[in-house]
């Protein structure tokens, strides 16, 4: 692969903005509800956003200055009141959410413009969005201003003090189910993505369990023309190899004996056949069988 390389200063502000948003994604959306000192609600989306701590629960989102360098209402309100409600954006409200990104005047209520139902909060003054499945009532801990020019970022750090979650979004083991949440992520330009059941996959790699690693795979396995990076990662992600009892049981299987009996005499063809069988195992999540085949076929070194 050939790469394009450039310093941020080589790009125009527009290029820099579009490149970064188009390459760092998907990004969750902070649908921020604030209120000014006169009691006028404000509601606006921000995708420079994420959670940075669970103990305590801390969020950071960025509010950029307007094109004329002035502050947006969200920033002004957060400074004045020290409070914000972060509403998460599910698919059913995504199109309405975008309307609230329009730069309305400060006396305009975006709840009305976006067709949202305001809910009173319990521990802060800004209103919650009823249609959002997850709402975080937050206290603003810090606002870091990175400049007063157009497009300059203002990083708002907020701590959740009360969390509201739709009771139907949990799985049977009391964990939020991504398919039920149906969240939306921000991409570059006018593009968004939707988290559906079909787009979710699992990777189990507990940090405390020391994995074997790629460096422990033999050269013949690492340089395979058949096995993908994903296949190799499954092999490298194990924390232990099969024991002798498992290996002996594997060797006595009729399917194992038939496989080895049918291997070609030619070494190159034989290796390709073994790698193809390894891929079949790994593509069907039979990683233990794959390792037993590697060891039985003498491909550890």
| pLDDT tens, residue by residue, 110-137 | 999 999 999 999 999 999 999 999 999 9
pLDDT recorded at residue 254: 93
Q: Which two tokens stand for residue 163?
A: 């969390």
pLDDT recorded at residue 285: 92
User: Residues 12-30: what's their mean pLDDT?
Assistant: 92
pLDDT recorded at residue 174: 92
pLDDT recorded at residue 215: 94
Distance CA 56, CA 218 (A): 44
Cβ-proximal residues to 164 (8 Å cutoff; 6+ apart), any chain: 128, 134, 135, 136, 137
Distance CA 210, CA 72 (A): 47
The rounded mean pLDDT for the chain is 94
pLDDT tens digits, one per residue of 29-53? 999 999 999 999 999 999 999 999 9
Q: What are the start-end ranges of the E strands in the chain?
A: 30-35, 41-46, 49-54, 57-64, 83-88, 118-119, 128-129, 134-145, 153-165, 184-186, 192-194
User: Residues 188-194: what's their mean pLDDT?
Assistant: 94
Question: Judging by DSSP bridges, how do beta strands 83-88 and 57-64 pair with one another?
Answer: unpaired
User: Residues 171-190: what's their mean pLDDT?
Assistant: 93
Distance CA 131, CA 105 (A): 24
pLDDT tens digits, one per residue of 196-207? 999 988 888 889
pLDDT tens digits, one per residue of 233-290? 999 999 999 999 999 999 999 999 999 999 999 999 999 999 999 999 999 999 999 9
Answer whether residue 102 shows pLDDT above 80: yes
Percent of the chain with pLDDT over 90: 87
Nearest to 86 by CA among 39, 124, 142: 124
Distance CA 161, CA 143 (A): 18
Q: How confident is the model at residue 138 (pLDDT cuts 50, 70, 90)?
A: very high
**Within its chain, how far is the Cα of 279 from the centroid?**
28
Q: What is the DSSP letter of 55?
A: T
User: Residues 179-204: what's their mean pLDDT?
Assistant: 93
Answer whether residue 69 shows pLDDT above 80: no
Distance CA 17, CA 31 (A): 20
Greater pLDDT, 78 or 205: 78
Answer whether residue 17 shows pLDDT above 90: no
pLDDT recorded at residue 70: 84
């Amino acid at each position: 692969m050939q790469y394009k390389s450039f310093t941020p200063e080589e790009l125009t502000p527009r290029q820099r903005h579009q490149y970064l948003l188009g390459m760092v994604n998907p990004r969750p959306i902070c649908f921020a509800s604030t209120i000014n000192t006169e009691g006028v609600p404000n509601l606006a989306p921000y995708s420079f956003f994420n959670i940075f701590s669970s103990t305590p629960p801390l969020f950071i989102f960025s509010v950029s200055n307007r094109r004329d360098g002035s502050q947006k209402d969200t920033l002004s309100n957060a400074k004045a009141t020290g409070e914000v409600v972060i509403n998460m954006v599910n698919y059913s409200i995504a199109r309405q959410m975008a309307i609230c990104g329009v730069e309305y005047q400060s006396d305009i209520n975006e709840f009305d413009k976006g067709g949202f139902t305001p809910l009173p909060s319990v521990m802060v003054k800004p209103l919650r969005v009823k249609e959002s499945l997850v709402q975080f009532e937050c206290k603003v801990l810090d606002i870091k201003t990175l400049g007063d020019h157009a497009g300059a970022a203002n990083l708002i750090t907020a701590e959740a003090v009360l969390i509201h979650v739709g009771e139907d979004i949990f799985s049977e083991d009391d964990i939020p189910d991504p398919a039920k949440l149906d969240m939306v992520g921000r991409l570059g330009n006018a593009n968004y993505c939707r988290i559906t059941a079909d787009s979710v996959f699992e990777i189990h790699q507990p940090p405390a369990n020391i994995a074997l690693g790629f460096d422990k795979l033999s050269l013949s396995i690492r340089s395979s023309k058949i096995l993908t990076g994903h296949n190799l990662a499954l092999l490298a992600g194990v924390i232990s190899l099969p024991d002798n009892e498992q290996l002996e049981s594997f060797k006595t299987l009729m399917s194992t004996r038939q496989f080895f009996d049918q291997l070609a005499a030619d070494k190159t063809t034989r290796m390709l056949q073994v790698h193809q069988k390894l891929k079949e195992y790994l593509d069907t999540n039979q990683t233990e069988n794959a390792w037993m085949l590697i060891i039985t076929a003498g491909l550890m070194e």
